[in-house]
Structures are given as structure tokens and as C-alpha cells.
Amino acid sequence: MKLQQAIESIHPLHDRAMAAARARWDSVAKPLHSLGLLEDAIVKIAGITGSEAVDLHKRGVVVMCADNGVVEEGVTQTGSEVTAIVTENFTRGMASVNKMAKVAGADVIPVDIGVACPVAGEGLLIHKVAPGTANMTKGPAMTRAQALDALEYGIGLVFSLRESGYRILATGEMGIGNTTTSSALAAVFLGAEPAAVTGRGAGLSSEGMRRKVSAIERAIEKNRPDPADPIGVLQKVGGLDLAGLCGVFIGGAAAGVPVLIDGFISAVAALTAARIAPAVGDYLLASHASNEPGGRMVLEALGLEPFLTCRMCLGEGTGAVAALPLLDMALAVYREMGTFGDIQVEEYKPLD
Ligand SMILES: Cc1cc2ncn([C@H]3O[C@H](COP(=O)(O)O)[C@@H](O)[C@H]3O)c2cc1C
Ligand SMILES: O=C(O)c1cccnc1
């Protein structure tokens, strides 16, 4: 689906469904709002889907996999070949997110949106926009057409997953070097110093950290991304994994499918989506606070509060998947609990 068409089809959250969901929570025989953010998430999901009969039965984690040319600058502990290895492991049920998704009852949906070498495996979706991006310290990471291609693939994927019965999606990624691109995007969108939004990613020495911050500074200096042109920022200092995820967030808002943000990388993709299409902002659902320094900053910029603080920084969608059982628990109370009327206790009166 074309980006513009998707943006135009995003409507405000359904007020009536949200009011009905809130009324249901307020009638449950328990202290008002005592399930906190979990109640708010169920209300938001009602608003996204247009129904207070919230159904999260079929769930998937979309894992966008791609390589990043900036890895040449020595910004990671491992080489790009790890992207392909882990991508194939997703198809064999052998990666961390597979193990966690199994517990949460979610299907892992890996996508090769730009892995540098050929990858294959059962269930792997292939939309290889390019075999990895270019080194952003030397010029733009990709062309605008490539960024749009990845974005629009992500949008279309959400619509086809909705057709296949998916009712909630978690986001994940695999791409060596993608905390470098994520920090570059965060620095541009938040107007922050690269050092303030850069962490050790999948592990890095102090010397490696200096190279990483310098690579981000040089990429911004070279490409001069303009925050007022968010697609241009994504194209110049982003990655295909981030662009694909950005499309998933826009697609979720357009298709009325709730999409859970994972950690830092996924939150940056969500922020990019909200900069491209501000209406997406109301649709976003946080899961956990990444241990990467920029993680919380990006969620705060989106006005979101995560459910979980576990100091996780794994990626792959692991944090988003970890939130699913919590939502299931909240839904069990929402659906199955008796009301104040049932237990003959007077309902709470609104307080001041
Ligand atoms: C074996 C392995 C499995 C992973 N699974 C997720 N990531 C995570 O680490 C990468 C980002 O960190 P950086 O920017 O430092 O490369 C991403 O692929 C992310 O999902 C992994 C990283 C490795 C090494
Ligand atoms: O929070 C994340 O998304 C993250 C952080 C470090 C490495 N991989 C992912």
C-alpha cells in the first residue's frame, strides 16, 4: 500500500469503544484503575480496533532483518555475518525471541528486508530491498525510493497479517549495527548530542563506543538530515530494518491492528513513524524500557510509559513479546471478573 494512502486512512481512535472499555474496567469489583497501565492498554486497544470486545488471540512478532553499511566503521562487536545467522535461526525456532514467543503463544514472522547475503528458511518472508545499506558516514544509507519501498512493504504486511487473523503484533528486528543507526535517528529527531543517545548495543568496548559516537557524528555531518523531512532522515542515517518497522507502525494505525513497541530500536522506528504521520502517535503501545540510554528518552518523546523495566536490551522483539502474557492476565480480569453489582458492593464514586 502506498504511504500516502495509508496515512489518509488513519482515523482517530474510536471514542465509543474506549468509553465502553473504560466503563467495563470501572464496573469490575476491584479498586478503580488498580491494573494501571494494563487497563489503559486494553482501553487503547479497544480504541484502535473499534471494539470493546478485545481479542488478542492470534498474535505475531514481525522481525525485520537487514544489514547496515556503517558496520565498516567498527561500531559493533560482531560482524554483519551474524545478521544472516540469526535470521535463519528465527526460521528454525532457535533464536531468543522464538523461545519467548512460544511461551507467549506468538508466531515469529521473520522478514529479510535487506540482509547482505542470501538467506533462506521456512516461513521467512523475503522482500530484500537491497543487500544491506551503504555506509552512512560516506553518504546516504539508502535512496529515498529504497526507504519508501521498505516502509510500504511494512504497511502492506500488516494488512495481510490482519487478513490472516492476527489481532496484535509485536515488533522486532535483527541487524548488526542497528543501534548505531537508531542512535543517529534519535539524535536528529530529539535534537540530542549523539553521545547522549548512544549505548553499547550488543556489546562494545569503551574504544568501540568512541568509534560509534564518532561514526554517528560524521554521518550527521556528512548527510545533514533535516528533522522536518523524517523520510529523508530515515533514508540518510537509518536502515532498512528501521524503515520496515516504521511501516509496520504506520500500517498498524491504518489497519486498526495494535502494534507493540519493543526496545530502543523499535521505539526509534515508532518515533520515525509518528514524525512521518503524527496520527500514528495515538496508536502506539510501549512494552518495556530498554537498557540502552536512548530507550526511555524516545518513549518519553512519544508520551509513552512502558509496563516493564527488566534492563533488557536484546532486541528481536523479546521485550514486546514479554508484555503479551501481562496483557492476557489483564484481559482475563477484564472479561471474567464479576462487577460491583454482582458482589453487592456499591460502585466507586468518581473522586476529585
Ligand atoms: C548473536 C546476536 C543476536 C542478537 N539478537 C538481537 N541482537 C541485537 O543486536 C543488534 C544491535 O546491536 P549492535 O548495534 O551492537 O549490532 C541487533 O541485531 C539487535 O536485534 C543480537 C546481536 C547478536 C550479536
Ligand atoms: O533495546 C534494543 O532494542 C536493543 C538494545 C541493544 C541491542 N539490541 C537491541
Q: First and final CA of the chain: distance in angstroms? A: 47
Q: How confident is the model at residue 344 (pLDDT cuts 50, 70, 90)?
A: confident
Q: In this predicted structure, what is the pLDDT of residue 129?
A: 98
148 is written with which cell numbers?
519508501
Residue 267 has pLDDT above 90, yes or no: yes
Judged by phi (left if over 0) then psi (alpha if -120 to 50, else beta), residue 333 lies in: alpha
Please tell me the distance between residue 174's alpha carbon and the centre of ligand 2 in angstroms.
Answer: 9
Model confidence pLDDT, tens digit, residues 274-294: 999 999 999 999 999 999 999
Average pLDDT over residues 227-234: 98
Q: Across the chain, what does the average pLDDT equal? A: 97
Which ligand is nearest to the Cα of residue 70, counting in written order? 1
> Which of 288, 316, 318, 321 should be mutated for ligand 1, with most atoms under 8 A from CB?
316
Q: Are 214 and 88 in contact (CB under 8 A)?
A: no
Q: Tell me, what's the pLDDT at 226? A: 98
On the 0-12 / 13-18 / 19+ scale of CB atoms within 10 A, 310 is middle
List, chain by chain if needed, residues with CB within 6 Å of any ligand 2 atom: 179, 201-202, 262-266, 290, 292, 295, 313-315
What pLDDT, on a 0 to 100 scale, did the predictor assign at position 348?
72
Write out pLDDT tens, residues 190-203. Answer: 999 999 999 999 99
User: Cα of 30 to ligand 1 centre, how many Å?
Assistant: 42
Beta pairing, strands 284-285 & 59-66: unpaired
The reply to whether 163 belongs to the active site is no
Query: Quick check: 219 and 137 in contact, CB under 8 A?
Result: yes
Q: Which residue has the cell 562494545?
A: 204
What are the cell numbers at 263? 526496545
Rounded CA gap, 274 and 133, in Å? 23
DSSP 8-state code for residue 280: G
Helix (H, G, I), strand (E, B) or coil at 106: strand
From the candidates 39, 52, 292, 316, which is the catalytic residue? Answer: 316
pLDDT at 271 > cutoff 80: yes
The pLDDT score that the predictor gives to residue 1 is 80
- Distance between CA atoms of 277 and 292, rounded to whole angstroms? 25
Per residue in 9-61, pLDDT (tens digit) is 999 999 999 999 999 999 999 999 999 999 999 999 999 999 999 999 999 99
Q: Which of 72, 86, 111 to mutate to test the pocket of ligand 1 (most atoms within 8 A of CB)?
A: 86
Q: Whose CA is nearest to atom 9 of ligand 2?
A: 315
Confidence of residue 346 (pLDDT cuts 50, 70, 90): confident
The alpha helices in the chain, defined as continuous H runs, are 3-8, 15-27, 36-49, 81-91, 96-104, 144-163, 178-190, 206-223, 230-237, 240-255, 264-276, 293-301, 318-336
What is residue 241's predicted lDDT score, i.e. its pLDDT?
Answer: 98
Protein residues with CB under 6 Å of any ligand 1 atom: 76, 78, 82, 86, 173-180, 201-202, 314-316
Residues 152 and 144: their CA atoms lie apart, in Å, by 12
pLDDT at site 343: 87
